[in-house]
Amino acid sequence: MRVLKYAILGLLDKGSLSGYDMTSRFKAELGQFWSAKHSQIYPELKKLTDEGFIEFKTVIQGSKLEKKMYSITLEGKRELHEWLTAFKPVPDTVKDEFMLKAYFISAMDLEEAKALFADQLSKRKEKAAFLKKKLEELKEEAGQSISFRSPHFGHYLLLTRALERENGYCSWLLAALEMLADDQPPA
């Protein structure tokens, strides 16, 4: 399944965007749960245009620079809605390289393991602080309570879930570091 297809359709359902704008939105808003590189977005835009799910207008920016502004078609809206309302099973796994390293922890010595976990905790705390700041900025930008009808509601949901994920990861890392410090088996 081409999930990137639906991410792009969803972004365009909110309004017309250039390819560059989409790349920026992936980094700024969707990046906590979904990522896409410039090199993935542009081929997908071509496919979506060929399939009739999106269209574009070429506009002049500045004195000579042309850029394509993409928008979703009625058929694209139907395709997005069908995907949004389809029930899917929970994925078997989410790839997490750090967890893979944790699984193979016995191949490290104790000090290396402590350093690895301490580094991950530091990075996760930093990420949690960043998410908290973004959430506060979003609340300030919204200017009112964020409800289902707010254009910020989806972003609010992503940020609160990402913050919860990072806080949970930090709690788990702290507990693991305590076990490593005591060099005791789990209870």
- Does the CA dihedral 150-81-8-165 come out positive or negative? positive
Instruction: Examine the pLDDT at 134 and tell me if it is beyond 60.
Output: yes
d(CA 30, CA 10): 11
Residue written as tokens 């297809």?
5
CA angle, 178 then 179 then 181, to 5°? 60
Q: Compute the chain's Rg from CA coordinates.
A: 21
Confidence (pLDDT) at 100:
93
pLDDT tens figures, 23-73: 999 888 888 888 888 899 999 999 999 999 999 999 988 777 889 999 999
User: What are the boundaries of each domain within the chain?
Assistant: 3-85, 97-181
- The amino acid that residue 70 corresponds to is Y
Confidence (pLDDT) at 11:
95
pLDDT tens figures, 95-118: 899 999 999 999 999 999 999 999
Matching CATH number, 3-85, of 1.20.1280.290, 1.10.10.10, 2.170.150.70, 3.40.220.10: 1.10.10.10
Per-residue pLDDT band for 185 (boundaries 50, 70, 90) equals: low
Tokens representing 180 are 């490593």
